[in-house]
């Protein structure tokens, strides 16, 4: 069974698995991204350089007090030389097969 990693802005890393054992359902994604933070209503799928996906709050930077996620930002920036950005809030890193 594949596992994903939930990364919080405080640096906590937690292994998570889909409830059905194969792929995350929408309610699970929203729940994990809202974990210990503001509610998430829309998520964005970001392609990482190694073929995995990062799921983030699409409206994270618009929250009242967005909190940068330095570990998720470092994953995001790997392999990107011309574009820099930051990831805020919780992030899920998983195999592409875990998001259908």
The pLDDT tens digits along the chain (100 residues) read 578 999 999 999 999 999 999 999 999 999 999 987 789 999 999 999 999 999 999 999 999 889 999 999 999 998 876 667 899 999 999 999 999 7
**Closest listed residue to residue 8, CA positions, set 65, 98, 73, 94:** 73
The pLDDT of residue 2: 75
The answer to whether the CB of 16 falls within 8 A of the CB of 25 is no
The answer to whether the CB of 94 falls within 8 A of the CB of 43 is no
The pLDDT of residue 1: 59
**Closest listed residue to residue 43, CA positions, set 2, 6, 92, 97:** 92
What ranges do the domains of the chain cover? 4-98
The pLDDT of residue 38: 81
Phi first, then psi: give them for residue 28, nearest 5 degrees: -65, -45
Q: What is the pTM of this model?
A: 0.92
Question: Would you call 74 helix, strand, or coil by DSSP?
Answer: helix
The pLDDT of residue 100: 76
């Amino acid at each position: 069974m594949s596992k994903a990693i939930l990364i919080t802005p405080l640096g906590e890393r937690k292994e998570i698995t889909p409830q059905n054992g194969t792929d995350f359902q929408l309610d699970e994604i929203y729940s994990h991204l809202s974990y210990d933070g503001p509610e998430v209503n829309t998520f964005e799928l970001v392609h990482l350089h190694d073929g995995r996906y990062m799921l983030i709050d699409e409206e994270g930077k618009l929250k009242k007090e967005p909190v940068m996620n330095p570990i998720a930002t470092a994953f995001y920036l790997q392999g990107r030389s011309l574009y820099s950005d930051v990831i805020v809030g919780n992030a899920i890193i998983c195999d592409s097969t875990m998001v259908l």
